[in-house]
Structure 1
Amino acid sequence: MDTNEAKTYGIGELLDLARERAVPVVRGIPDTALDAPTPCAEYDVKALVNHLFQVVVQFQRLAAKEASDFGASAPDRVAEGSDWRERFVAEADRLVVAWSAPGAEEGVTGAMDMPARLVGSMALLDLTVHVWDLARATGRGYGEADAVVVEELAGAVAQLEPTARKMGVFGEPVGVAGDASAFERLLGRTGRDPGWG
């Protein structure tokens, strides 16, 4: 094997990196910030937490090639009890396990019969970008996403961008500085201002 050959990361491995960054952000959300605005304009902090909860639960099903149910609105997991942060962590752990299972990235999955790896990248996008949203909204540090995660997401966004923008999933692109990092450029492509605050 060529030692100079770049490692190909599985979606489960990439989700594990994103989960490592997500857990301290979610655990650190104070109850007093739940009604604060976020860079994702249609959500306040509580609504975005509930949306992200729905993502990590439903994408476990998609990893197993089962039908998902995103419904009209996300269930209010925050209202289900004060342990919602630890329940989120447990579901994020299950998401990593689901996408690390043999065969999870193979074939197609979901109602639109999309390539399974691309679907897994959609979960990775939410677990990265929405956690950045939550970090910004609650004054917590996030820094830069892992380079291998950004690289995977850049390719996924390139494939998803036209349809996602038409459906309103991505906002209009936001211009970033010429010296912006790859992660800041990714945020801009999803309609976020990297300097939001």
Structure 2
Amino acid sequence: MQKISELLAAARAQALPVVAGIDDERLGDPTPCSEYDVRGLVNHLFQVIVNFQALAAREPTDFGVTPDVVTGDWRGRFAEETARLVKAWDAPGVEDGVTGRMGMPARTVGLMALGDLTVHAWDLARATGQDFEPDEAVVDEVGPGLAALAPKAREGKVFGEPFPVPAGASAFEQALAVTGRDPGWRSPQV
């Protein structure tokens, strides 16, 4: 079983060029997450990354506040915060026990961070006309993890209803569909 930190490092490597490639003129464009434009999704992703650092350290989190971080060198800060995320999930014993208010197994929480980073990197790539190919080992963990979380996530309105995909859809397309995303979504701006 691969460590969460190794998987996060692989997901980070795929996400960094996507974030670095976002043109400021695209910040108002739509994303596959209908509730977010590109700016809103970048802000949400920062919020997730910072809170999952805290969850790794068994510290309090605040998912209720989403500050606007898309100012100054936000792309550089994204690289720094994702590096901190990888480091936080590399601490000895971080995958043991439970974490968070819901008392979930720590490894499950780490896989949630992995799913958010991977899926939202895809969202941002699609929204801005960039290519995105997730790491195979990441997909191997994210797919089953998202499927297991899907019923609760739908109850909480975090995931939409599953999107129908044809036979032969890739494992990543299936994972996206479980979250309610259309794996074929393309930005109308691109």
TM-score norm. by structure 2 comes to 0.95
1:36 corresponds to which residue? 29
1:134-184 deviation per Cα after TM superposition (whole angstroms, max 9, x unaligned): 0000001103x2221112112212321111011110111111121111001
Whether 1:77 aligns to 2:66 is no
Whether 1:113 aligns to 2:103 is yes
2:8 corresponds to which residue? 15
Q: Separation in 2 of the partners of 1:103 and 1:68?
A: 20
Moved over 2 A (4+): none
1:29 is paired with a residue whose SS is coil
1:18-42 deviation per Cα after TM superposition (whole angstroms, max 9, x unaligned): 0000000001100000000000110
Q: Which runs of 5+ in 1 are unaligned?
A: 1-7
Whether 1:131 aligns to 2:121 is yes
Q: Separation in 1 of the partners of 2:49 and 2:113?
A: 7
Matched AA of 2:135: D
Find the partner of 1:195 among 175, 184, 188. Answer: 184
After TM superposition, list the pairs within 5 Å mapping 1:25-64 onto structure 2: 25-64=18-57
Matched AA of 1:64: A
Q: Which runs of 5+ in 2 are unaligned?
A: none
Q: Tell me how far 1:82 sits from its aligned partner.
A: 2.3
Q: Separation in 1 of the partners of 2:66 and 2:74?
A: 14
Relative to structure 2, which stretch is displaced further, 174-183 or 12-21?
174-183
Q: Tell me how far 1:66 sits from its aligned partner.
A: 1.1
1:152 corresponds to which residue? 141
Q: Separation in 2 of the partners of 1:29 and 1:82?
A: 14
2:147–2:178 contact (8 Å) kept in structure 1: no
* CA-atom RMSD in angstroms: 0.9
2:56–2:106 contact (8 Å) kept in structure 1: yes
Q: Separation in 2 of the partners of 1:158 and 1:36?
A: 29
Matched AA of 2:132: Y
Q: Separation in 1 of the partners of 2:163 and 2:30?
A: 18
Matched AA of 1:140: Q
Q: Separation in 1 of the partners of 2:126 and 2:45?
A: 15
Q: Tell me how far 1:65 sits from its aligned partner.
A: 1.0
